[in-house]
Amino acid sequence: MAEPLPVVLASGQLLTRDVWAPQIAAWSAERAVIVADHTRDETIADMARRLLDAAPERFALAAHAMGGFTAFEVMRQAPERVARLALLATLAPADGPAQTARRQGYIDLVEKGHFDQVAEERIPMLLSPARREDPALVAAVRRMAAETGAETFLRQQRAIMARADSRASLADIRVPTLILWGDADGIATRAHQDEIVSGIAGARLVVLPGVGHLSTLEAPEAVSKAVGDWLRET
């Protein structure tokens, strides 16, 4: 029997490996699970290179939010190394003027010493309406933001603002691809998911009803099962 394929996890902005904690616990007994480091680089391309440097020669890639931007870059830099791809709560276009202005506003807040305010403003976007008052989830968002810190946030924010538009390269992705999205996501829309699905031949969309942007924590069992089943497919 072949050795189970290792899986590399690429996380979103202001999030730590804890955003994948339920999935790491679910999958580690059967395969190697590696969490990419998105804290040290100032461009998405450099994040992708660091991921590839730390990854096995051949692996599955599961990417959430900003991690999806890195995943698209990985697929441009070394598509032959990725056997399967899962994209959670992400989108392919570059930012438009409104998104750039919002991100610059976050940068301005941090540079004025108000980093804590950034996490508080993001909570309504990260969590579904039904879970925004959930003490454990809110505490997890705050803790991950604090562990990430202001300087790393600024690097991530500037990397996101300068990222490439990945729509043109979607058709070049030739590996089995799962798209996982919660329909209460406050950042990535259904239109974004449909765009990815239509761009990648054979991509499959799974919708999680009532789940927000942090699907790995809001619906841990559903995410672990959907992505775990995808990992086991041959």
Residue 181 has pLDDT above 70, yes or no: yes
State the pLDDT at residue 1: 61
Phi, psi of 9 (to 5 degrees): -105, 130
Helix, strand, or coil here: 44? helix
Query: What percentage of residues in the chain have a pLDDT greater than 90?
Result: 97
State the pLDDT at residue 2: 75
7-95+157-232 CATH fold: Rossmann fold (3.40.50)
Residue 64 to residues 40, 96, 223, 227, 231: CA-CA distances in angstroms? 18, 20, 11, 12, 16
pTM: 0.96
State the pLDDT at residue 228: 96
Q: Could you tell me the two tokens for 112?
A: 């004025």
Q: Give me the sheet containing 33-35, strands edge to edge.
A: 33-35, 7-10, 59-64, 82-88, 177-182, 204-208
Q: Please give the mean pLDDT across all residues of the chain.
A: 96
pLDDT tens digit string along 101-122?
Answer: 999 999 999 999 999 999 899 9
The pairing of strands 204-208 and 82-88 is unpaired
pLDDT tens digit string along 10-67?
Answer: 999 999 999 999 999 999 999 999 999 999 999 999 999 999 999 999 999 999 999 9
Q: How far apart are CA 104 and CA 98, in angstroms?
A: 10
Locate tokens 């309406």: which residue?
129
Contact 71, 78 (CB under 8 A): no
Residue 85 has pLDDT above 80, yes or no: yes
Residue 226 to residues 62, 136, 139, 168: CA-CA distances in angstroms? 12, 23, 26, 27
State the pLDDT at residue 119: 86
Give the pLDDT band of residue 142 (cuts 50, 70, 90): very high
Residues in Cβ contact with 138 at an 8 Å cutoff, skipping those fewer than 6 apart: 123, 127, 132
Query: Taking Cα atoms as reference points, which of 80, 68, 73 lies closest to residue 196?
Result: 68
State the pLDDT at residue 234: 64
pLDDT tens digit string along 150-180?
Answer: 999 999 999 999 999 999 999 999 999 999 9
Fill in the DSSP letter of residue 132.
T
Angle, helix 115-126 to helix 150-161, in steps of 10 degrees: 60
Q: Could you tell me the residue ranges of all domains in the chain?
A: 7-95+157-232
